[in-house]
């Protein structure tokens, strides 16, 4: 997503987001992964997309080992010390989602790196049964494989990105930076896209986003994105529904495209996928 300006640090006075995606503007710093361990079990109810006769497939479930800090129920993103639940239930999602990877966004001012937020990607475990074509790939191969991430996004299983702010941010600043990341990725916005962006903007205008606030971006389907903001625990409802395939796809590309704004998150997710797809 974004490196955010106007955060509660005196040095952060400029808008940190480039107008165009540029991998040289990203600063990966440390790489992290949530110490994923996995096991496979047989399931008779992978999802509603399987018929009763065909759903006797092998489903991959996540089991996350306890990190050096925290418990087995949480995984700590080491650069920011933000703890992410290993299993997450979000509003209007049909099943509990499992943590696949974590990372952080850092903006460099002069020579000083300022961390803005941590992020964790959650997925419906059933999606992993669709990725057999990538079995045996290394994390490095997966990370550079855009067809894999495109297939990952286009699958109709739920995915959710949790963003946890590690600094106070003004809502307008947050949106402006987000918009600067999304808009260049939509080459010819339609009226549907413009309406979706207007709805998205309205969530953050005039809204202070304090340190510790979580923003949940959930894709129940590639054509729909749910947005929820919570300053205290998990949300009980969504703030808005964004029904624009172009906007949803552009936002996913912000994190998992060729020039991700959080390289550490994409690396962590690739590592998690490589572990599963051995």
Q: Which residue has the tokens 């946890």?
A: 164
- Report the C-alpha gap between 86 and 227 in whole angstroms: 20
Polymer length of the chain: 278
pLDDT tens profile 228-262? 999 988 999 999 999 999 999 999 999 999 999 99
- Angle in degrees, CA 268, 2, 227, rounded to 5: 85
Percent with pLDDT over 90 in the chain: 58
Q: Is the pLDDT of residue 154 over 90?
A: yes
Asked whether residue 155 carries a pLDDT value surpassing 50, the answer given is: yes
| pLDDT tens per residue, range 108-120 | 666 667 889 999 9
Q: In 10 A of CB 68, how many CB atoms?
A: 7
Phi, psi of 51 (to 5 degrees): -80, 155
- Give backbone dihedrals phi and psi of 159, rounded to 5 degrees, phi first: -140, 145
Q: Which tens digit of pLDDT belongs to each residue from 20-74? A: 444 333 333 333 444 444 433 333 232 333 333 334 333 333 433 333 344 569 9
Helical spans, DSSP H, in 168-244 = 171-182, 191-204
**260's tokens:** 């991700």
In the 8-state DSSP scheme, what is residue 186? -
Question: What's the pLDDT band for 149 if we cut at 50, 70, 90?
Answer: very high
Q: Which of 103, 148, 141 is nearest to 263 (CA)?
A: 103
Rounded to an integer, the average pLDDT of 198-202 is 94
Burial of 45 (0-12, 13-18, 19+ CB in 10 A): exposed
d(CA 183, CA 180): 6
Radius of gyration of the chain (CA): 18
Reported pTM: 0.75
Going along the chain from its start, the domains and CATH numbers come out as 74-277 (3.50.70.10)
Q: Which one, of 211, 256, 276, 225, lies nearest residue 103 by Cα? A: 256
Q: Tokens at residue 234, please? A: 């998990």
Model pLDDT, residue 174: 87
Q: Do 190 and 241 form a contact (C-beta atoms < 8 A)? A: no
Residue 108 φ/ψ region, left for φ over 0, alpha for ψ in the -120 to 50 degree band, beta for the rest: beta
Q: Please report the pLDDT score of residue 69 as a whole number.
A: 40
């Amino acid at each position: 997503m974004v490196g955010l300006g106007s955060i509660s640090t005196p040095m952060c006075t400029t808008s940190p987001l480039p107008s165009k995606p540029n991998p040289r503007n990203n600063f990966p710093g440390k790489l992290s992964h949530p110490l994923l361990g996995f096991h496979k079990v047989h399931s008779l109810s992978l999802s509603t997309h399987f018929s009763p006769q065909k759903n006797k497939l092998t489903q991959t479930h996540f089991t996350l080992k306890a990190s050096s800090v925290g418990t087995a129920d949480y995984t700590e993103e080491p650069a920011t010390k933000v703890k992410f639940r290993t299993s997450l239930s979000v509003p209007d999602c049909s099943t509990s989602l499992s943590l696949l990877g974590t990372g952080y966004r850092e903006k460099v001012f002069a020579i000083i790196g300022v961390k803005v937020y941590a992020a964790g990607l959650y997925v419906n475990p059933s999606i992993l049964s669709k990725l057999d074509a990538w079995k045996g790939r290394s994390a490095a191969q997966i990370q550079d494989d855009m067809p894999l991430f495109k297939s990952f996004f286009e699958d109709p299983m739920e995915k959710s990105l949790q963003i946890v702010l590690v600094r106070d941010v003004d809502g307008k600043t947050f949106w402006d930076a987000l918009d600067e990341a999304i808009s260049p990725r939509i080459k010819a916005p339609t009226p549907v896209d413009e309406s979706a962006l207007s709805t998205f903007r309205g969530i953050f205008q005039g809204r202070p986003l304090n340190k510790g606030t979580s923003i949940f971006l959930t894709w129940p389907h590639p054509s729909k994105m749910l947005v929820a903001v919570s300053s205290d625990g998990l949300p009980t409802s969504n703030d808005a529904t964004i029904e624009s395939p172009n906007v949803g796809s552009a936002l996913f590309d912000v994190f998992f495209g060729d020039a991700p704004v959080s390289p550490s998150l994409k690396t962590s997710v690739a590592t998690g996928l490589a572990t599963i797809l051995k």
